[in-house]
Structures are given as structure tokens and as C-alpha cells.
Amino acid sequence: MRYGRALILIAVLYLTTSCVPTPKRVGTRGSIRPEALEFLAESPVVREDVLLHLGMPEEISQDEKIFDYKWIDSKEWNSLVVQSGSIEVQTCNILRIHFNGQGFLESWRKHSYKPKTLLRSNRQCRL
């Protein structure tokens, strides 16, 4: 009877800990949190304000009217059930900021998607 309880305890522990997400950083930029974007609600916001708050974007359009900030949220799910030992799940995030001809903030939007293949660089994120 003692061994039965021990086996049940081991089975419960195995099932509850076999799939635990572990955050993993991919690329050079960390996640941009929503509170970091609160300054965008202030008026007026110019290109220099965005650069001071968020740093250099991964991509700038040729006319400098669009900034793309990219980052990959990646979690590695450690699993004893999967033969490889872990599953990596990524979410590609792109914060696209539009400026008008005078350099004032016009609009911004965050896009997120799950890529079909594993990405190794923020620049690999595409809209």
C-alpha cells in the first residue's frame, strides 16, 4: 500500500511538472511592455521622443515615416512526454509606428503572430 501511494504521488508530480514554460530571449531586443508605450498617448509625440523612449528600431522606412520595432517572445516548454525534451513556442511581435511629413506621431499598432519556423533574429519578423 505504501508503494502505491508513492507511485501515485510520483505520477501526479510528473504530470504537473512535465510541461513548464521557461521564458527564453531570442534576438537583441527584449519585450516592449504596454506601460512602455504610455508616452505615445501624450501629445504631441515626435520621432525623437520615440527614439529616446524605445531606442533604435530594427527597420526604418526610406522616407523615415515608418519605424518597426521587433521582438520575439519565446518560451521553451520542457516536457518529458516529448522525445526531444522540449518544445519551443515563439511569438513574433512588430510595433509599427507611423509619422507624418513633419515627424509627428500619426498612428501606431502592435502586430503579433506565431511564425511557421523557428526564428533566430528579431529582423526575421515580417508583416
Is the preceding omega at residue 44 within 30 degrees of 0, hence cis? yes
Residue 122 gets the label, from left (phi > 0), alpha (psi -120 to 50) or beta, of alpha
Whether pTM > 0.75 for this model: the answer is no
The verdict on residue 72 lying in a domain is yes
Domain span holding position 108: 21-124
The verdict on residue 6 lying in a domain is no
Question: For the chain, what is the domain count?
Answer: 1
The verdict on residue 116 lying in a domain is yes
The verdict on residue 88 lying in a domain is yes
pLDDT tens readout for residues 25-72:
444 567 888 899 999 998 899 999 999 999 999 999 999 999 999 998
The verdict on residue 9 lying in a domain is no
The verdict on residue 3 lying in a domain is no
CB contact at 8 A, 44 and 103: no
